[in-house]
Amino acid sequence: MYAKVIVDVPSAQTDRQFDYEIPDNWKSIVQPGMRVVVPFGPRKIQGFVMSISEQSSYEQTKAVVELLDAEPILADEFLQLGNWLAEETLSFKVSAYQLMIPAALRTKVRKQLKANEIDSLPPHLRRLFDQGKVYQWDDLIKEGASVLSDVQAEVKKGTLEVEYVVLEKGKTKTQRLVQLNMSLEQALSLLTKRANKQIELVHILSRQPAPISIQALLEEGQTTHASLKPLREKGIIKEVDQEVYRDPLSGLQFERTEPLKLTNQQQQVVDQVNPCIQKEKHDVFLLHGVTGSGKTEVYLQVIQQALDLQKEAIMLVPEISLTPQMVNRFKGRFGSEVAVLHSGLSMGEKYDEWRKIKRKEVKVVVGARSAIFAPFDRLGMIIIDEEHETSYKQEENPRYHARDVAIWRAQYHQCPVILGSATPLLETYARAKKEVYHLLTLDERVQNRKMPAVHIVDMREELREGNRSMFSTVLFEKLKDRVANGEQSVLFLNRRGHSTFVMCRDCGYVATCESCDISLTYHRSQNRLKCHYCGHEESMPRTCKSCGSEHIRFFGSGTQKVEEELTRVLPEARVIRMDVDTTRKKGSHERLLSAFEKKQADILLGTQMIAKGLDFPSITLVGVLAADSMLHIPDFRSAERTFQLLEQVSGRAGRHELTGEVVIQSYSPEHYSIDLVKAHDYQAFFQTEMNQRKFGQYPPYVYMTLITISHQELMKVIDVAETVVAFLRRELSTETTVLGPVASPLARIKDRYRYQCMIKYKNEPKLRKVLVEIREHYQRELNKGLQLTIDLQPYLFT
């Protein structure tokens, strides 16, 4: 019997299956989807069993070294999904499988050495080894090449022996439990009368029907580990290790909530989706619901329907809005049925949440992108909230979009998918209009709450009228009123740091990172400049590097600077600042939000991370500083991103009894992506933007593929980019446009030059074949430092 194995190293030569003989003792156990350790060249590495076969087409095969699982960790569904995903994204199969298992299960195989006959070793090696003891190969490497070659020679002679050990990174966490090993009388008869501590412990244990943790026992007996020793020696107690879960939400309390009575609109939505869950019918719904229209309550109730039918559900939210509020709403409704998966969890916590899902101890997972791979096997509902968010697209190989995986899985399980948003991605809305997706609409806020009134302030005019402050007169007056009335405000700034860049007023020189070619950010607290791509730091220059002038200053405003200005003009306001700098520590995000919720501050000032998901009753004012900073990034979606962001931020205001207001400050207030926020008119935005896309020939009118090439040498990059473009132009049809090659917007990152080209096409059956050819052609050079990435669904054009 042979196992067809794919090894856990993503590369072209390993993207195929190898046959390994299955040793007799595992023949009845091994199944597709299990992990094995196999010899691969000189190494032993982890692999996944794809299938099992009676024959092998290879003449010589090696044997499986070790079987790592007692049951498949990749169910048949995932084996198929991985195949599809690899093809769809032009990536290696094993990198698709890696997405589906927690990092903790990515086993490492370590090489070790053991000295068999220490006396036969040459003297200079003898000092390195002890008889019978095991040494790590990695440690020996430090001894240098000459020692290693001598070691190799000894291995050949047999004086040193090589062993391979499998290192499981994701050890489960255990807790030691203790119980009596005999009756109370027997135990007491074995103890002397003076052994007071031990007698007390034995009494405590005799009152416990089940084993208790050692820690609990010692606490109750008010004693230390030392007191256990005599009990152990006399065999009075029995100890067992019990696995415990590392709980990312430990110590938190969740208030149980009951389903709300739905509004008519909400009910209509639920009535369309529920029959699909009942009848196991696959369908994709776009839920277009304005901010505050009660989408989350809809999600909760359709998930309830799935659970009532003994099915499971996945709820995806963008990483950024996995706020405690969202988790609260799910834990409050579904309690211990919920697992949470996001990047803030430790490797161990992720592993434990994954196992709870796999072992069917939970039925709902709330998580970010990768939670779409949650190993449920009776899916009844998949929801993607804020479906327009870019974080659903993975920006490294495999470059998949969670929506595509969701639709694939929903087809497999015959269940519905809901894509929800107040500002759907243009492509998604276009598909709904063409009835590829089912459009469901919630166009009113619940309980007749009004959409917030929006004021757009022209900052150029403010300047003409002599207002040089970063706050317009309108915004300042409204902020002041709110503080006086005890209402809360949110100030949103689409930036981070104290000031974005340092510029010379005399010559215009801007301080940039020498290896990334992007502006350095000034950090006030350290008086230093930092590169946010590679981490390079330098001190604040005193004079201009270009002309020597002393008029070199920081420009623009970051959250820190806004905070200072606020304290200056509104000293009575209590401000909480939330940005990358203030939320670095684990739990600080939660702490700041909860302080704001408890009304310990009047103003919440922050970046992107406060744009979404916040639902606080007393927010009645939202201010947006520098609304157009996103309009000028080199990306065909910049207008769409601006509208989405402004609409989302506005949505934080007036979600409850109090009506909300929004003030947007802009240097281009006439732009439709800003102007249309006034009327919260998604439809009008959609039409205008569709016309723009048609005119410029952008998605959804065409498909786009982005190829990025990078290398340390500029000439090499240009050379490869030009060859690739010429090849594309020759091979693809004349209707297809090939743009470039051009330097990428971020032309240099971490000392690598980057060039890109874009393919725009409507129908190009040869595309995949041609792209695979390109990838294969450069295969050997890829190992030599050339990077070539192919993105069939580009979202961010960096």
Residue 593, CA distances (Å) to 610, 616, 621, 656 in order: 9, 10, 17, 18
Q: With the C-alpha atoms ordered 140, 143, 148, 150, is the resulting torsion angle positive or negative?
A: negative
Compute the distance between CA of residue 105 and CA of residue 101 in angstroms, rounded to an integer.
7
Residue type, 201: L
Residue 531 annotated as part of some ligand binding site: yes
Q: Are 746 and 710 in contact (CB under 8 A)?
A: no
Among 293, 370, 708, 756, binds ligand ADP (CB under 6 A): 293
Q: Map residues 638-657 to x or -, x wherever contact with ligand ADP holds by CB under 6 A.
A: -----------------x--
Instruction: Looking at residues 522 to 541 of the shown chain, list those that interact with Zn ion (rule: CB under 5 A).
Output: 531, 533-534, 536
388 near ligand ADP, rule: CB under 6 A: no
Residue 415 marked in a binding site: no
Would the annotation count 507 as a binding residue?
yes
Q: Is 288 in the site for ligand ADP (CB under 6 A)?
A: no
Cβ atoms < 10 Å from Cβ of 444: 18
547 labeled binding residue: yes
How far is 586 from 521, CA to CA, in rounded Å?
Answer: 24
What are the angstrom distances between the C-alpha of 391 and each of 249, 367, 544, 696?
23, 12, 38, 25
Tokens of 454: 């929006």
DSSP-derived 3-state class of residue 443: coil
Query: How many CA atoms does the CB half-sphere of 504 hold within 13 Å?
Result: 17
Choose the contact partner of 516 out of ligand ADP, Zn ion, none; CB within 5 to 8 A by kind.
Zn ion
**Cis bond upstream, residue 741 (ω within 30):** yes
Q: Which of 52, 68, 446, 453 binds ligand ADP (CB under 6 A)?
A: 446
| Residue 423 touches ligand ADP, criterion: CB under 6 A | no
The least CB distance from residue 553 to Zn ion, in Å, is 11
159 binds, options Zn ion, ligand ADP, none, Cβ within 5 to 8 A by partner type? none
Residue 118 binding ligand ADP, by CB under 6 A: no
* Residue from the set 262, 453, 631, 633 that interacts with ligand ADP by CB under 6 A: 262
> Which positions from 557 through 616 interact with ligand ADP, judged by CB under 6 A?
615
**Interface region with ligand ADP, contact rule CB under 6 A, candidates 293-301, 396-404, 547-555, 625-633:** 293-301
From 290-298, 386-394, 505-513, 594-602, give the range in contact with Zn ion by CB under 5 A.
505-513
The per-residue DSSP string of 110-136 comes to EEEEEES-GGGS-HHHHTT--TT-EEE
Q: How far is the CB of 510 from Zn ion (least distance, A)?
A: 10
292 binds ligand ADP (CB under 6 A): yes
Interacting span for ligand ADP (CB under 6 A) from 9-17, 285-293, 524-532, 703-711: 285-293
For residue 796, count other CB atoms closer than 10 A to its CB.
14
Q: Which does 296 bind (CB under 5 to 8 A by kind): Zn ion, ligand ADP, none?
A: ligand ADP
Is the Cβ of residue 404 or residue 506 nearer to Zn ion in the bound state?
Answer: 506
User: How far apart are CB 387 and ligand ADP at their closest, in Å?
Assistant: 13
**Of residues 597-626, which lie at the interface with Zn ion (CB under 5 A)?**
none
From the list ligand ADP, Zn ion, none, partner contacted by residue 447 (C-beta under 5 to 8 A by kind): ligand ADP
> Which residues inside 698-737 make contact with Zn ion, applying CB under 5 A?
none
Beta bridge pairs of residue 67: 36
From the list Zn ion, ligand ADP, none, which binds 504 (C-beta under 5 to 8 Å, kind-based)?
Answer: Zn ion
If the CB atoms of residues 498 and 612 are measured against ligand ADP, the closer one turns out to be 612
**Number of neighbours of residue 58 by Cβ within 10 angstroms:** 11
Residues 6 or more apart whose CB falls under 8 angstroms from that of 361 comprise none
Rounded CA-CA distance 534/526 in Å is 18
Tell me if residue 707 falls in helix, strand or coil.
Answer: strand
Q: How far from 625 is each of 458, 601, 628, CA to CA, in Å?
A: 11, 20, 9
Does 386 participate in binding ligand ADP (rule CB under 6 A)? no
Work out what residue 534 binds among ligand ADP, Zn ion, none; the CB cut-off runs from 5 to 8 Å by kind.
Answer: Zn ion
47: partner contacted, choices Zn ion, ligand ADP, none (Cβ within 5-8 A by kind): none
Mark the segment that binds ligand ADP (CB under 6 A) among 288-296, 338-346, 481-489, 537-545. Answer: 288-296
- Tell me: does residue 513 bind Zn ion (CB under 5 A): yes
Is 757 one of the annotated binding-site residues? Answer: no
| Binding residue (CB under 6 A) for ligand ADP from 134, 260, 679, 772 | 260
Closest listed residue to residue 711, CA positions, set 697, 728, 693, 724: 724
Angle of helix 402-413 relative to helix 76-89, nearest 10 degrees, comes to: 140
Other CB atoms within a 10 A radius of the CB of residue 309 amount to 14
Amino acid at residue number 740: G
Handedness of CA 64, 67, 71, 76 (dihedral sign): negative
- Which partner, ligand ADP, Zn ion, none, binds residue 531 by CB below 5 to 8 Å per kind? Zn ion
Binding site partner of 579, from Zn ion, ligand ADP, none, Cβ cut-off 5-8 A by kind: none
Q: In what order do the strands lie in the sheet with 18-21?
A: 62-63, 18-21, 2-7, 43-53, 35-40, 66-67
Binding residues for Zn ion (CB under 5 A):
504, 506-507, 509, 513, 515-516, 531, 533-534, 536, 544, 546-547, 549
Annotated binding site: 504, 507, 513, 516, 531, 534, 544, 547
Binding residues for ligand ADP (CB under 6 A):
260-263, 266, 289, 291-297, 446-447, 615, 655
Annotated binding site for Zn(2+): 504, 507, 513, 516, 531, 534, 544, 547
